[in-house]
Amino acid sequence: MTETALTRRAIMAQAWPIMLGQASVPLVGIIDTIVVGRTGDPLALAGVALGATIINLVFWSFGFLRMGLTGLTAQADGAGEGREVEALLLRGVAIGAALGLVLLALQVPITMLALSVMSGGTGISAEADAYVSARFFGAPAALAVFAITGWLLGLGRTRSALVLQIVMNACNAGLDVALVWGAGLGAGGIGAGTAGAEWIALVTGIALCWRINGAGPLALLRRIPIQHLLDGAALRKLFAVNRDLMIRTIALLLVFTWLASSGARLGATTLAANHVLLQFISVAAFVLDAFAFTAEARVGAAIGAGSYSRFIRAIRLTSEFALAGGALIALAYWLLGASIIDAMITDDATYKAAVVFLPFTALVPFIGAPSWMLDGVFIGATRGKALRNAAVVTTGVYIALDLALRPYGNWGVWIAFTATYLLRAVTLGAYLPSLIRQIRANEPLAKRATRA
């Protein structure tokens, strides 16, 4: 990452491409919801909701490929280790593609197990099965793209990451519309469209990395010694960080899986309404993640360069933007949310069910901003154990709270879910003082003297 001064202008310049790219991710989910929702079939919409929850749980269990690569790449780049930066890309893409092939081979038992645990009835399960079966064909590409995205963000190449995201999401939306409204494939068409877009994104990502490195995959393999690519210490660090991040990601995904399962128990209308409301939360999370991702790159580069002052300033400036953005999004949802829901769906019962719980959706962007920012700080610092422990505690407390509030129906579901954002901030924030002390203690004495 080309070093720039840590100013608000520099933070915003790095964050806005991520913001645009991230905003397009939930917009595709909204388009999918509209494509199915405008058919007036609540079973199909509920099936997509259930299927998307299953795929998110399975695919994003490997989200460490994005998060781990960002922190490690930023640190290697900050330390001036160009060869290691290139090696991280090759390792990440190879691991992602291999894991994706394993998922593709195991798609039948995974789908059967997931639907048996989360069944919402025969009609919903049939639609969900069609969606999930199609999505698995994009698994190798999807996981490799995770690694490419993490590598680009670690280098601060946010505009390249924006191009990758826009290409994937534009193709996703276009294919979904064509396959559902054009070919009448229903929930399976949504899944097939997304899988096709993931393969297009992989080709695009390889081209972007080729341009940055000045060499394609084969050329990189030739110029990086195999001993370096398979360096034991580097691989152990990669797998140690990724192991903890995988546990953390699975724990948090279980929250959303549990949420969908709780909604499914209350019927197709409630499940569909909750899915619509989750699109609002997705938009807020993905947009505000622009500042969390910027924090990842800036924090990682500061640690790689051994600069405590840059580390602290990166946290402060990115957090300022995130909190202000969360407040603005919350206000917009409060004022405009009902109108947006009305434009998304035609089923009156689903609309009424969604509007009742809209206030919870409006609250999440503001109270969720601290937890998202802390994620960015600890990912950039590659402190996987803290992320893992905080997520496991949060998930355990959430499930207990949801079970205790079940007599209150969907009110209990949303109270428990909203509380997870506070739980995440508190549990991860408890590790922040220790992290700050470690970074301060590890700063080279010469830099401390210069700053003094």
DSSP string, 270-297: HHHHHHHHHHHHHHHHHHHHHHHHHHHH
Percent of the chain surpassing pLDDT 70: 90
Running DSSP on this structure, what letter comes out for residue 58?
A: H
Tokens at 151, concatenated: 């590598």
374: how many CB neighbours lie within 10 A of its CB? 26
Q: What is the mean pLDDT of the chain?
A: 83
Residues 6+ apart with CB under 8 A from 260: 49, 50, 53, 118, 271, 274, 275
Most confident of 58-62, 66-70, 192-196: 192-196
Report how far residue 374's alpha carbon sits from residue 370's, in angstroms, rounded to the nearest whole number: 6
27 to 287, 301, 335, 386: CA distances (angstroms): 11, 31, 19, 31
- The predicted-structure confidence for 74-101, as pLDDT tens digits, reads as follows 888 877 787 888 888 988 898 999 999 9
- The predicted-structure confidence for 172-224, as pLDDT tens digits, reads as follows 888 888 887 777 777 788 888 889 999 999 999 999 998 888 777 777 777 88
Least confident of 11-20, 247-256, 295-304, 405-414: 11-20
371: how many CB neighbours lie within 10 A of its CB? 23
Phi, psi of 420 (to 5 degrees): -65, -30
pLDDT number for residue 137: 92
Tokens at 55, concatenated: 């795929």
pLDDT number for residue 23: 65
Contact between 252 and 63 under an 8 Å Cβ cutoff? The reply is no
What is the pTM for the complete model shown? 0.72
Q: Which of 91, 96, 92 is nearest to 230 (CA)?
A: 91
Report how far residue 408's alpha carbon sits from residue 402's, in angstroms, rounded to the nearest whole number: 10
104 to 48, 97, 245, 394: CA distances (angstroms): 19, 11, 22, 31
Tokens at 361, concatenated: 């959706």
Mean pLDDT of 421-437: 93
Could you tell me which residue, 258 or 37, shows the higher pLDDT?
258
Percent of the chain surpassing pLDDT 90: 31
What burial class does residue 226 get, using C-beta atoms within 10 Å of its C-beta: 0-12 exposed, 13-18 middle, 19+ buried?
A: exposed
Report how far residue 313's alpha carbon sits from residue 182's, in angstroms, rounded to the nearest whole number: 51
Could you tell me which residue, 218 or 308, shows the higher pLDDT?
308
| CA-CA-CA-CA torsion sign (36, 262, 430, 366) | positive
Residues 6+ apart with CB under 8 A from 304: 74, 75, 76, 77, 78, 79
Tokens at 121, concatenated: 């009835």
pLDDT number for residue 447: 52
Report how far residue 285's alpha carbon sits from residue 304's, in angstroms, rounded to the nearest whole number: 27
Mean pLDDT of 413-428: 94
- The predicted-structure confidence for 231-276, as pLDDT tens digits, reads as follows 777 777 777 777 888 888 888 888 888 887 788 788 878 888 888 8
Most confident of 35-39, 164-168, 401-405: 401-405
Report how far residue 144's alpha carbon sits from residue 42's, in angstroms, rounded to the nearest whole number: 34
Residues 6+ apart with CB under 8 A from 382: 68, 71, 72, 75, 241, 300
pLDDT number for residue 117: 72
pLDDT band at 386 (very low <50, low <70, confident <90, very high): very high
